[in-house]
């Protein structure tokens, strides 16, 4: 499936195609964006999965391009459905992989996703048996890897120059620590990765703060301020990492802000007058969570609890190594 960017004047500024690449995850296919202005640039090649490889190569062929046409690869973030093919594509083409410093750290071959999050899972109140199962879960996709020598490390703020325009790389964390969005200011087009999605509110994924790994990252705080950044950019259209183009970005920003406000209130209501663990909050918000969704549910719970704690509405204390949260004034 390919799309070109319609601009208000009917002419195209940066020409690109949306390539729908299948993933084995419940989120469905991932959007890979091929910007055909020189140097030809591929944003998020997709997962390292046979059907994805086939789809990507097939799409390039139908456009009359070989893999070799790709001169630059950009990753919005480290998650395997977006980044898995970057290494193979680099090997095939020599194209450098533009990636945020924090995402590159997660793409290191020896990076163990759950191990670095284990201290947070241990204090979450997750029953030991469930934790053991979670640790042993095997992803259907191989761990995505990008080697430092393949990468161009960015911090955000850099501009990718093309023959017909430019894309500014914006570091907008909240869903993932090293998340980048790509902003075509001339055309009012934002490539949002998983930061803004048409049908779902992205998970504020649990992880260590990149510059202070003992602490949880303030993912929800980052996410909410990122929404304000997007609101100020005021894009005409947002091309997301999954699903169709977002033609009403301000509405989606408002919807996501309202979603989190409602969830913050729901967490306060849940706490009531008692002290609860992050696991108890997750289980109340999302009954019947299984497998990796348990981790995502815990991410939601921690993100909202930590945010309320930062705001002074909730306090936390340890009991036998487990972290409990309660509303201020109810202890
Ligand atoms: Zn993601
Ligand atoms: Zn995704």
Per-residue pLDDT tens digits for 216-270: 999 999 999 999 999 999 999 999 999 999 999 999 999 999 999 999 999 999 9
Record the pTM: 0.94
Q: Are strands 30-35 and 16-21 parallel, antiparallel or unpaired?
A: antiparallel
Q: Which long-range contacts (CB under 8 A, 24 or more apart) does 107-111 make?
A: 107/75, 107/78, 107/83, 107/144, 107/145, 107/146, 108/145, 108/148, 109/143, 109/145, 109/147, 111/143
Which one of the ligands is nearest to 241 CA?
2
Which one of the ligands is nearest to 176 CA?
1
The Å distance, Cα 79 to ligand 1 centre, comes to 5
Q: What is the pLDDT of residue 5?
A: 45
The Å distance, Cα 27 to ligand 1 centre, comes to 10
CA gap 176, 180 in Å, rounded: 9
CA gap 108, 11 in Å, rounded: 41
The Å distance, Cα 242 to ligand 1 centre, comes to 10
Which candidate, 73, 110, 84, places its Cα nearest to that of 30? 84
Which one of the ligands is nearest to 82 CA?
2
Task: For residue 309, give both structure tokens.
Answer: 């704690």
The Å distance, Cα 76 to ligand 1 centre, comes to 9
The residues near 296 (Cβ < 8 Å, ≥ 6 apart) are 203, 205, 289
Which one of the ligands is nearest to 79 CA?
1
Q: Answer yes or no: are the C-beta atoms of 91 and 45 closer than 8 Å.
A: no
Span 150-176, mean pLDDT?
97
Confidence of residue 6 (pLDDT cuts 50, 70, 90): very low
CA gap 307, 175 in Å, rounded: 14
The Å distance, Cα 176 to ligand 1 centre, comes to 7
Angle between the N-to-C axes of helices 219-233 and 292-310, in degrees from 0 to 180, rounded to the nearest 10: 80
The Å distance, Cα 174 to ligand 2 centre, comes to 13
């Amino acid at each position: 499936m390919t799309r070109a960017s319609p601009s208000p004047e009917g002419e195209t500024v940066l020409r690109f195609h949306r390539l729908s690449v299948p993933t084995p995850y419940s989120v469905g296919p991932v959007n890979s964006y091929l910007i055909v202005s020189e140097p030809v640039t591929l944003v998020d090649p997709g997962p390292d999965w046979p059907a994805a490889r086939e789809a990507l190569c097939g799409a390039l062929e139908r456009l009359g391009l070989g893999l070799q046409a790709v001169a630059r690869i950009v990753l919005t973030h480290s998650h395997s459905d977006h980044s898995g093919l970057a290494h193979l594509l680099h090997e095939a083409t020599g194209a450098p992989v533009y990636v945020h410093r924090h995402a590159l750290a997660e793409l290191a071959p020896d990076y163990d996703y759950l191990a670095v999050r284990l201290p947070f899972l241990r204090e979450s109140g997750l029953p030991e048996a469930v934790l053991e199962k979670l640790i042993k879960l095997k992803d259907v996709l191989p761990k995505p890897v990008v080697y430092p020598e393949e990468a161009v490390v960015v911090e955000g703020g850099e501009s990718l120059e093309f023959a017909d325009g430019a894309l500014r790389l914006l570091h907008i964390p909240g869903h993932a620590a090293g998340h980048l969005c790509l902003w075509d200011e001339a055309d009012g087009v934002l490539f949002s990765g998983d930061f803004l999605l048409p049908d779902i509110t992205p998970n504020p994924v649990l992880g260590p703060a990149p510059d202070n790994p003992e602490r949880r990252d303030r993912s929800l705080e980052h996410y909410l301020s990122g929404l304000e950044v997007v609101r100020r950019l005021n894009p005409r259209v947002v091309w997301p990492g999954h699903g169709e183009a977002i033609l009403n970005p301000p509405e989606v920003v408002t919807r996501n802000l309202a979603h989190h406000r409602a969830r913050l209130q729901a967490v306060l209501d849940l706490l009531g007058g008692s002290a609860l663990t992050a696991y108890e909050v997750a289980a109340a918000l999302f009954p019947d969570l299984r497998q990796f969704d348990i981790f995502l549910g815990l991410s939601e719970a921690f993100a909202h609890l930590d945010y309320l704690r930062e705001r002074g509405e909730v306090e936390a204390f340890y009991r036998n190594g487990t972290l409990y949260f309660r509303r201020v004034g109810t202890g």
